[in-house]
Structure 1
Amino acid sequence: MNTVISFFQNGGPFMYPIALVLVVGLGLSIERWVFLTAAKGSNRRTFNRLLPLLQKKDYAAVVDLARQTRAPVGRIVAAGIARMQQTPRRDEIEYAMEEGVMEAVPRLEKRTGYLATLANISTLLGLLGTIMGLIAAFTAVANAEPSEKATLLSQSISVAMNTTAFGLMAAIPLLLFHAMLQTKTTEIVDSLEMAGIKCLNIMSNGNTFQSRTRTGDAVR
């Protein structure tokens, strides 16, 4: 712990904004992970409730269930049912359901892109802190005794490099979290699309829809 404190104190004033960026990024990562995990579970539970209703052609109950839940899969299926009441064309119904998926994507991707930006900011702050530290070091060396210049310069450079090291230490986990959240978001979007096609195929049984070939599985 003393080593960490000494490392932080020797890095100079730029260590504090880097630490702030790291804290904000970690908080954002946790919030997004919790949200996406809850969204995935909600979609799975809602789909499991929608499936038997669709198989019984109880579309009124499906719409009521979609209104009671915040899961995107409910709104997607409800949009398909609403369009089905207007036109028997399968492709038109599918377009309505795809529109529901597109409406859900922004909420799933919200604020995730900030993590990459925060990682870049952390790296740049570390580099800026190192450059400012080197400028101050060379200025101090210029006014020092000749016998002290080598020692003073090496110590100053070591302190200045702490800022770059801390900037990279903050940027690397933020980039990893960004990649993990993007992967999780993509999985949810793919599951919504597959669930929509599964529901569309069930809805089309017994109806004279014009088909457009696409296949998929239900939400896992």
Structure 2
Amino acid sequence: MFFQNMKKKFLMLMFIFSTLLFLQILDVSNVFAAKEIHQYVSNVENAQVGMSLWQIIRSGGVVMLVLGLMSVGAGALIIFCFINFKVEKLVPRALTEKLIEDLEIGQEDAVKNTCKGQESIIGNVILSGLTKKKKGPVAARESMETCARKEIGFLWQTISYLADIASIAPLVGLLGTVIGMIQAFNVIAFQSGVVKPMLLAGGVSKAMVTTAGGLVVAIPVMLFYSYFRGRLQEITNHIEVYSTDAIKIIEESCDVKI
């Protein structure tokens, strides 16, 4: 119960932090946009309003579109992990202990039927061992260990995409920064006479917005990755413990001895 409460508090802190960070970036962007525009436009009211969220996103160009797609993918993956990566769903205690008990008393047919009817990682591991049981204890063990590695590997591979997004998003934002600065310097290079600051606004805006956008995507995703990594470690530990018990029972019940 203590760790469950800690997880809930941690998730709440991540949500609050992500929301405050995003709102702070928008607020700062609006304030500075209003101050800068006020110097060059005649309509003071428009200058005080600043840039809307949509204007900020559009100023980032194609790079912000890429970051938007990455954020949508990360959000979908986070929701998927929240729904599916649960100990009680992947390694249900009652079902797993029932399977172990049935194995101990030799009710293998009942175990097979249960494994086929109830989708679970331990069920798949046990079923793979029972399928190879006639070939001997070594074959049964290897089959169960291989199945367990595949199941665990799939889980870790899934959350690894979050780490990839968290690593790539700042680089994409940096690319937008470089592109924006190139555009800004091109304005200076090809503009004759005194360079008007408003002509540089597009390039500089893209440079700053894409950097902020990359960080806004990366920071929350990395926090969620850290949380799911801890959850998967707990799931992996349960799988290893139950798999070891099941392997031992099936090895001892094999007709073919080493």
Amino acid at match of 1:146: V
Change (3 A) 1:191 1:145: same
Matched, 1:141 2:188: yes
Where is the helix percentage greater, Structure 1 or Structure 2? 2
Deviations 1:153-183 (A, max 9, x none): 5885355222111112112222233333344
Matched residue, 1:217: none
Given candidates 159, 163, 168, the residue that maps to 1:112 is 159
Number of residue pairs the alignment of both structures matches: 207
2:80 corresponds, among 6, 31, 52, to 31
Superposition CA RMSD, Å:
3.3
For the Cα contact (< 8 Å) 1:101–1:189, is it kept in 2?
no
- Hey, what does 1:189 align to over in structure 2? 236
Change in CA separation of 1:63 and 1:120 when aligned onto 2, cut-off 3 Å: same
Mapping of residues 56-205 of structure 1, within 5 Å:
56-87=105-136, 89=137, 91-142=138-189, 143=191, 145-146=193-194, 148=196, 157=204, 159-202=206-249
Is the CA contact (8 Å cut-off) linking 2:181 and 2:203 kept in structure 1?
A: yes
CA distance in 1, matches of 2:74, 2:248: 42
| Matching of residue 22 in structure 1 with residue 68 in structure 2 | no
How far, CA to CA, are the matches of 1:67 and 1:100 in structure 2? 15
1:133-161 per-residue CA deviation (whole Å, 9 max, x = no partner) reads 11221222341643745x86588535522
Deviation at 1:9, TM superposition (A): 4.0
Distance 1:159 1:23 in 2: 21
Overall identity of the aligned pairs, in %: 25
1:41 equivalent in structure 2: 89
Rounded to whole Å, the distance in 2 between the matches of 1:160 and 1:144 is 23
2:134, 2:254 within 8 Å by CA — same for their partners in 1? no
Higher relative contact order (CA 8 A, sep 6+): 1
- Mapped partners of 1:106, 1:139: distance in 2: 49
TM-score (norm 2): 0.65
Range 193-202 or range 124-133, more displaced? 193-202
Distance, in Å, in 2 between the alignment partners of 1:60 and 1:107 is 28
**Which amino acid is the alignment partner of residue 121 of structure 2?**
P
Structure 2: how far apart are the matches of 1:79 and 1:154?
63
CA distance in 2, matches of 1:169, 1:21: 11
Query: Which consecutive residues of structure 1, in runs of 5 or more, have no partner in the other structure?
Result: 212-220
Per-residue deviation, residues 172-203 of structure 1 (Å, max 9, x unmatched): 22223333334433432332221011234455
Q: Judging changes above 3 Å, is the alpha-carbon distance between structure 1 residues 57 and 12 closer, same or farther for their aligned structure 2 residues?
A: same
